[in-house]
Chain A
Amino acid sequence: MDLVEMQGISKFFPGVVALNKVNFDLRKSELHALIGENGAGKSTLVKILAGVYKKDKGKIIIEGKEREFAGPQNAYEIGISVVPQELELEPYMNIAENVFLGRDFSRRVFLKDWSRMLAETKSLLKKVGLAVDPTILCEELSVAQQKMVSIAKALSYNPRILVLDEPTAALAQKEIKRFFSILKELKKSGTSIIYISHRIEEIKEIADRATVLRDGKKITTVDVSKTNIQEIVRLMVGRELKDVFPKRERVSAPKEILRVSNLLGDKFKNISFSLQEGEILGVAGLIGAGRSETAKGLFGDIKTKGGEIWLKGKRIRIRSPRDAISHKIGYVPEDREMEGIVPTTNLKENISLAFLDDLSKFGFINKKKENEIVKKVIKLLRIRAPSPEVNITTLSGGNRQKAILARWIAKDCEILILDEPTIGIDVGAKTEIYKIMNELVEKGVGITMISSELPEILGMSDRILTMHEGEITQEIERKDASEERVIEGMVGIK
């Protein structure tokens, strides 16, 4: 008997059929991957199972008994625990308080049983392989550590079914390895896991079965060990993807566009490298290696304490993002929602944000010119939106990312710094971003790409820099690049 059986589940949102008669089943001690592009209905399906959304049609059968869910609390009682994609910890509470939020053990009214909370948190942290003091405030933890705390929190409910939504998005390669061994332990002890991910390679590695959703419909459920990666990708996007990374020829002779020497900041030092016209320079490293900080230092968003920046042989000074932009340098931040988009406004205004001053006619916006440029880049980047006037938050992650890229393309940037350009977007959109990057370098743009995904680093870069604890450890030419060498550099081998 299956642990969970969802039959003919449908869910309608205003104007959208989010799920259309989807069947899904989960066995005991199984890791069942749920895959599909953004908007395929993965999260909706899981939220129905967790009692966050009410289904409009269909049946949920748990251990042979049909159940109705009234709310998340109910789902917890049945034994479903969800680790959402976003981090939801309270930054100013400590780990133990976060883990047991809303469930303090009371000895007397108002008095929490601290010793019990701490002891239980400690054993949960041990389970997820996190060696930190449970009384540390969560804001002091790294993103990866916070993720682990969220998982510990989910485990504290002793779930029979653990739902993980994109759990590895914030983890570096090494942490993923450890994370997977934890998942295997959990499976052994009888927990069933529903695993939502965009990363096909991961699914291949740890999943038993995978269910593919597309446009709210179930396409199929496959046995992972008997299916190859290409096949899963094809099922997921519904079209043949010859290669996730489009081929590209290296253009003309190298011509230096940017040189950085001995850049120094709080979290990085001795940063020296050069960037050529028409080159993609990949920057690999673990979380906390100082890659994003270096990028922000270069872009003028955080203060640097020393070093020189040369643009086409001329020394320049960058004290603010405004300075960097005036030298035609653009920056796409890692955190799209917090630092990239302006959620209160539409696609058009999000794109024109960086070149507003160029549109100025005695301080007034030349709206005709704005519309022309915006339309042009929307077409160029194939941004899928009903109109430039729709709110940016109605678009998918991939299209939001394209909108931020469009900002810099409309600004005619010659140098782009991309921090995790394809984080949290689906395979189809990823490939499109790669194609756009290739088109840009063909035009002579120099791209610095920070990425935690090894296949992306290896597949896209002409040259690779590795960083470890704030320093550059290796510089690897494309022809010499291999997974092993990049990993060596990431862990600090020079």
Chain B
Amino acid sequence: MKGVNIFKNLLKRFGSVLGLLILCISFSILSPYFLTARNWSMIFQQVSVLAIIALGELLVILTAGIDLSVGSLLALSMVVMAKAEVEYGVNPFLALLIGILVGLGFGLSNGLLYTKLHLPHPFISTLGMMMIAGGLALVLTKGYPIPGLSPTVRFLGTGQLGPIPMPLVCIIVCYLAFHIFLTQTVLGRKIYAIGGNREAAKLSGINVSRVLILVYCIAGFTFALGGIILAGRVNSAFPLAGKGYELDAIAAVIIGGASFFGGKGSVGGTLIGVLIIGVLRNGLNLLNVSPFAQMSIMGAVIIIAVYVDVLRRRAS
């Protein structure tokens, strides 16, 4: 009984970090491969796309919004980029830029649709955009993958900086940048304020629409970046590449302690959320658990993680 209480207290205090630790300890006991450097390098590469796009989703969720267009924007950006390079022979740097611009542009549309058309909730605007962008990706490719990307375009997905694989470099750079952005800048503070109380933010002179549009733009940027990394890793762009990513990204952010009601959440927490998903998938694969069963386990983890967070908040 006492043991249970101690465990509860630990959970309350450390929440998702503790969850991650428990997962790691369990898997390292169950599988001798789990704690090897090679496996961890693999984990980071596997979660790299999710890690990047979760940052965009985090920003949106901090403003009490949601972005469902993650997977579609990821796929569309990568497809447009690949098509530009492979089919039209565009300079690889320019192709990368085009990919990023697609993400930014569609993110901008998400923001404009929500703030200027006064659609009731970003669920609607981004749901629409998810289907529009997803459909466009299919139309552009007629449903076929586009292989044969140049090493320059693939660099972010497969290159190395010294001994460190580029996806990991991207994660480190982006997470540091977002952390600083959210905690140290005026704009970051405004994002939290809008999520915490939009009306109060507006009455305090914050241009809410402009901040929201920017948030959806940045989110679009991260989705495109995720697409570029993924294209590099698999050496092709395919229209259904983003399938399921929207829910993974939302799950990672929520497991990481962000509140659906906005105003609460952190970059550090999101990283933990991403790693919990990554470690769980990796560990279950090592233990030969079928992907079908993995899905159910993942669902349970989301519910448990959020419940722990509820407990934690109730305690404080």
Give residues in A with beta carbon < 8 Å to B. 299, 301, 320-322, 324-326, 331, 333, 338-345, 349, 352-354, 356-357, 359-360, 363-365, 367, 407
Q: With a CB–CB cut-off of 8 A, which chain B residues contact A357? A: 186, 205
Q: With a CB–CB cut-off of 8 A, which chain B residues contact A367? A: 184
Complex alpha-carbon distance, A326 and B190, angstroms:
17
B201 near A353: Cβ-Cβ < 8 Å: yes
Closest-CB distance, B116 to chain A (whole angstroms): 15
Pairs across A and B, CB under 8 Å, 14 listed? A321-B205, A325-B205, A331-B203, A333-B203, A339-B200, A340-B203, A344-B192, A344-B196, A344-B259, A349-B189, A352-B189, A354-B204, A360-B186, A363-B186
Complex alpha-carbon distance, A299 and B199, angstroms:
13
A338 near B187: Cβ-Cβ < 8 Å: no
Q: Does B8 contact A (CB under 8 A)?
A: no
Complex alpha-carbon distance, A343 and B199, angstroms:
12
| Residues of B within 8 A of A (CB-CB), count | 24
Q: With a CB–CB cut-off of 8 A, which chain B residues contact A340? A: 200, 203
Of the candidates B184, B201, B206, B264, which one forms a contact with A364 in the assembled complex, judged by CB atoms under 8 Å apart? B184
Closest-CB distance, A141 to chain B (whole angstroms): 21
Complex alpha-carbon distance, A67 and B201, angstroms:
48
Q: With a CB–CB cut-off of 8 A, which chain B residues contact A320? A: 207
**Additional A-B contact list (15), CB under 8 Å, known A325-B204, A342-B263, A349-B193:** A301-B202, A321-B204, A324-B205, A326-B205, A342-B200, A342-B201, A343-B197, A344-B197, A345-B263, A353-B200, A353-B204, A354-B205, A356-B186, A356-B190, A359-B186
Closest-CB distance, B257 to chain A (whole angstroms): 13
- Closest B residue to A331 by CB, please name it: B203
Known contacts A342-B197, A342-B263, A344-B192; A407 and B186 CB within 8 A of each other: no
Q: Does B296 contact A (CB under 8 A)?
A: no
Closest-CB distance, B208 to chain A (whole angstroms): 10
Known contacts A357-B186, A364-B185; A407 and B204 CB within 8 A of each other: yes
Q: Does B262 contact A (CB under 8 A)?
A: yes
Q: With a CB–CB cut-off of 8 A, which chain B residues contact A353? A: 193, 200-201, 204, 206
Complex alpha-carbon distance, A367 and B193, angstroms:
17
Closest-CB distance, B231 to chain A (whole angstroms): 32
Complex alpha-carbon distance, A159 and B186, angstroms:
53
- Closest B residue to A14 by CB, please name it: B315
Q: State the main secondary structure of chain B at its contact with A.
A: helix
For window 204-220 of B, CB contacts with A under 8 Å fall at: 204-207
Q: With a CB–CB cut-off of 8 A, which chain A residues contact B200? A: 339-342, 353
Give residues in B with beta carbon < 8 Å to A. 184-187, 189-190, 192-193, 195-197, 199-207, 259, 262-264
- Closest A residue to B199 by CB, please name it: A339
Q: With a CB–CB cut-off of 8 A, which chain A residues contact B197? A: 338-339, 341-344
Known contacts A345-B193, A345-B263; A322 and B199 CB within 8 A of each other: no
Complex alpha-carbon distance, A410 and B229, angstroms:
46
Complex alpha-carbon distance, A230 and B227, angstroms:
72
Complex alpha-carbon distance, A359 and B190, angstroms:
13
Complex alpha-carbon distance, A320 and B204, angstroms:
10
- Closest B residue to A322 by CB, please name it: B205
What 6 pairs across the A-B complex have the smallest Cβ distances?
A: A344-B263, A344-B196, A342-B196, A325-B205, A353-B204, A354-B204
Q: With a CB–CB cut-off of 8 A, which chain B residues contact A322? A: 205-207
A363 near B185: Cβ-Cβ < 8 Å: yes
Q: With a CB–CB cut-off of 8 A, which chain A residues contact B187? A: 363
B203 near A365: Cβ-Cβ < 8 Å: no
A338 near B184: Cβ-Cβ < 8 Å: no
Closest-CB distance, B227 to chain A (whole angstroms): 27
Q: With a CB–CB cut-off of 8 A, which chain A residues contact B192? A: 342, 344-345, 349
Q: With a CB–CB cut-off of 8 A, which chain A residues contact B206? A: 322, 353, 356
Complex alpha-carbon distance, A458 and B34, angstroms:
75
A321 near B202: Cβ-Cβ < 8 Å: yes
Closest-CB distance, B186 to chain A (whole angstroms): 5
Q: With a CB–CB cut-off of 8 A, which chain B residues contact A321? A: 202-205
Complex alpha-carbon distance, A345 and B259, angstroms:
13
Complex alpha-carbon distance, A353 and B195, angstroms:
13
Complex alpha-carbon distance, A342 and B192, angstroms:
9
B195 near A365: Cβ-Cβ < 8 Å: no
Q: With a CB–CB cut-off of 8 A, which chain A residues contact B203? A: 299, 301, 321, 331, 333, 339-340
Complex alpha-carbon distance, A301 and B185, angstroms:
26
- Closest B residue to A354 by CB, please name it: B204
Q: With a CB–CB cut-off of 8 A, which chain B residues contact A325? A: 204-205
Q: With a CB–CB cut-off of 8 A, which chain A residues contact B184? A: 364-365, 367
Indicate the member of B195, B197, B201, B202 with the most A CB atoms within 10 Å. Answer: B197
Complex alpha-carbon distance, A326 and B184, angstroms:
24
Complex alpha-carbon distance, A354 and B207, angstroms:
11
Complex alpha-carbon distance, A353 and B263, angstroms:
14
Complex alpha-carbon distance, A367 and B197, angstroms:
22
Q: With a CB–CB cut-off of 8 A, which chain A residues contact B185? A: 363-365
Closest-CB distance, A440 to chain B (whole angstroms): 19
Of the candidates A301, A342, A345, A365, which one forms a contact with B186 in the assembled complex, judged by CB atoms under 8 Å apart? A365
Closest-CB distance, A56 to chain B (whole angstroms): 19
Closest-CB distance, A74 to chain B (whole angstroms): 24
